[in-house]
Amino acid sequence: MYLANFGEFWVNKMDIRTGECGIIEAGTTLIDACHGAAVDSGWWTDIKTGESLIGKRNVGETLCLIHSEISEAMEGHRKNLNDDKLPHRKMIEVELADALIRIFDLAGALNLDVAGAIDEKLEYNASRPDHKIENRKLDGGKKY
């Protein structure tokens, strides 16, 4: 679903933190689901010792794994490929899902409030002059 007047939505919203919109709740659910699945699958367990790796994994490495999913999405889009594991879906779609899964997993492991940050960032961006189409059309405006 796409909100055509998203900026106006933010200006006129009552209070997103009450759950009226559900962004925080949805984000928290995704964090819990993605991190829980990764923990249950053993991605946060040392395979040699069985020790928990929560708080011990290399965050830079994990961020690079997120980046690798984005690169795979770009390649799928560039070549207009379907995914090899979910062939009924476009590769860009599946790789973006993989990136989000990794992001929400990392947020869960580091106990980050990414859902709250998304809420606040969307609200902030809705009022940014450099995000308005009329300003983007100007010389020196953001083209993308």
Q: Which residues pair with 82 in a beta bridge?
A: 90
- The whole-number pLDDT of residue 36 equals 97
Q: Mean pLDDT for the chain?
A: 89
6 pLDDT higher than 70: no
- The whole-number pLDDT of residue 76 equals 98
pTM: predicted TM-score of the whole model, two decimal places: 0.82
- CA distances to 16, 81, 113, 119 from 124, rounded to whole Å, are 13, 35, 16, 9
Per-residue pLDDT reduced to its tens digit, 8-50: 554 444 454 555 568 899 999 999 999 999 999 999 999 999 9
Give the mean model confidence (pLDDT) for residues 66-82: 98
Per-residue pLDDT reduced to its tens digit, 92-108: 999 999 999 999 999 99
